[in-house]
Structure 1
Amino acid sequence: MGHNHNHNHQVQGKNLLFSILLNVVITLAQVIGGIISGSLALLSDALHNFSDVLSLVFSYVAHKLSRKKASLDQTFGLKRAELIAAFVNASTLIIVAFILIYGAIERLIHPHEIESELVIWLALLGIVVNGFSVLLLKKDADKNLNMKSAYLHLLTDMLASVAVLVGGLLMLFYQIYWIDSVMTLLIAIYLIVVGIDLLKKATKMLMLFTPEEINLKELIKEVHKIKGVNKLHHIHVWHLNEEELHLEAHLDCSEDIKMSEFNIVLHQIEDLLLEKFGINHINIQPEFKKEDPKDYIVQD
């Protein structure tokens, strides 16, 4: 059995807390402004911002739980909490999108005049606040799916505010009030696209799929080049979380070697898998002419 620990970027949660506070402020402002102005796009943006507050809180709690130490009852700790948060947040993005679509279609059928100046000012506020939050989380989003889910909520909010601003300007200067509903529809479509992509990634990790970046056939080919290796089989490769990529397998040795000699082979395998494939947790069962299936993938 071998374990290589290679945790690069440690995500910090303090930026999430600040983003939560900013989004609480802007949500309240947009709800009040949307009611006063009659803007559906602004109320839609407020609804999305409110979902962001919930999502950010959920992401923050999951982040804290994922740092909990392993115990006898929780041998992996709670490291997969962030994957669950990413899954839930992606789902809420899609749900919110369909709520927006329903409201936009209803408003297209029954349009009414909107106080465009208030819409413009609150849209500008949304762009500034969400833009700042996006910058705060950008670095963590590149390394962590949970943070990326929170980041995408904020990014789509910023884009939504840009769309609301454009709509507000068109309403102010050209009295094109239906643009409010069209902008809402565009926001919703974008939410569905990014939400489905994030949902697929989170689902694959939760279901322990082989990571897309791992070419299993190439991995097997490289391991088989190591002296003393006969066949790697019963292979499983999966993400425990963003930072930990695991491999477990049976290794049929070419000779009946001592454990001290197997340790040398194991060390070579560990180095290869870490350097070439980024796998930092390795669990290998050594065998010699054991009577069992030798297929690469075996249903346990």
Structure 2
Amino acid sequence: MSQDHHHHGRDHPHGDGHGHPHDHGKGLSDSALLWAVVINLGLTAAQIAGGLAADSVALVADGVHNLSDALALVLAFGARKLAARPATPAMSFGWSRAEIVAAFVNYLALIAVSVWLMVEAVGRLTDPPPVAGGLVMALAALALVVDLGTAWLTARLAKESVNIRAAWLHNLADAAVSVAVLIGGALILAFGWRIADPILTILISVVILWHIRGDTGPILRMLMLGAPAGIDDPTLRRDVLAVAGVTGLHHLHVWQIDEKRRSAEMHVVIADDADPYATRLAVKLVLHDRHDIAHSTIEIETRTSGCADPVAGEGH
């Protein structure tokens, strides 16, 4: 039998097979994240102080949400730095999955904040306190400008990284909160509708939870070593079995090392007269060219040799 861990440079067009495969954009990208953190922390202080002065739960909620924005960006920035570290014997795939973990933590925090806001707002529905609508509108307008500015600073990175995208969506959700708070302040000023403040807070939280429900699934899938969403298992099996010399396939596992890299392992049964090296190379090329799997570990077997796996029948 033969096993190939396939850790050569040609295996990873973006790297050496162990380290993080994509550029982390030093300079402008990191500066943009740091500026986004600074302006969000400043806004948080202003909104929470203003919300307490105006007795607006929606404004305090917006301030807490902005704090979670800042923390999300800090977490995203730290994970980005960690992901750039080289692989070690203890972390042979590198640290790139730190960005996936950070994204998941950010989404969990956003869920927790949204639920907390709903609970606070429900408590105020029966007896909404008087709210200083003018102050609420002024700070909500400032928050909207900051939120949109932060979204602009991180927009380019959000296209490249699920980690930054989580923080970016976090920020866009807060922009929606700011718009709703503005509307609430206007309703309070124009009509004295104090109940608008808690109602809008509840609606904001529901919208945020609805928005992120689809984003957490793919991240959880990666953390649980699920097959990448784009992998069609029957087609992959059919393509491998179509390789000349291959007569069987079992113990097939496909997962994502990180956001950019897919990995696969399998036992391939070949004909007794087939060249094991040529057959294995042909299978690797099929995995790479047709299924975008650059990292593969393939164990070659024959009908005569059988499977050396001690767990008989698993995955066959």
TM-score w.r.t. length of structure 2: 0.86
DSSP 3-state at the match of 1:78: coil
Q: Does structure 2 retain, via aligned residues, the 8 Å contact 1:66–1:78? A: yes
Shift of 1:299: 5.1
Shift of 1:48: 1.0
CA RMSD of superposed structures (Å): 2.3
1:280 is matched with which residue? 294
Alignment of 1:85-164 (within 5 A): 85-164=102-181
Q: Does structure 2 retain, via aligned residues, the 8 Å contact 1:86–1:198? A: no
Alignment of 1:1-300 (within 5 A): 1=4, 2-3=6-7, 4-7=11-14, 10-12=23-25, 14=30, 15-259=32-276, 262=277, 264-289=278-303, 290-292=305-307, 298=314
Post-superposition CA distance 1:239-292 (Å, at most 9, x none): 111011111111111243445xx2x43343333323322222111112222323
C-alpha separation between the residues in 2 aligned to 1:255 and 1:158? Answer: 64
DSSP 3-state at the match of 1:205: helix
Ranges of 4+ aligned residues in structure 1 off by more than 6 Å: none
Q: Percent identity?
A: 33
Q: Which amino acid aligns with 1:188?
A: S
Shift of 1:41: 0.7
Gaps of 5+ in 2: 15-20
Shift of 1:10: 3.4
2:18 is matched with which residue? none
TM-score w.r.t. length of structure 1: 0.90
C-alpha separation between the residues in 2 aligned to 1:167 and 1:277? Answer: 50
Residue range with higher mean Cα deviation, 188-197 or 165-174:
188-197
C-alpha separation between the residues in 2 aligned to 1:139 and 1:272? Answer: 33
C-alpha separation between the residues in 2 aligned to 1:177 and 1:265? Answer: 73
Q: Does structure 2 retain, via aligned residues, the 8 Å contact 1:224–1:232? A: yes
C-alpha separation between the residues in 2 aligned to 1:267 and 1:107? Answer: 66
Residue range with higher mean Cα deviation, 69-78 or 212-221:
69-78
Q: Does structure 1 retain, via aligned residues, the 8 Å contact 2:107–2:166? A: yes
C-alpha separation between the residues in 1 aligned to 2:92 and 2:285? Answer: 25
What is the aligned residue count? Answer: 296
C-alpha separation between the residues in 1 aligned to 2:300 and 2:97? Answer: 29
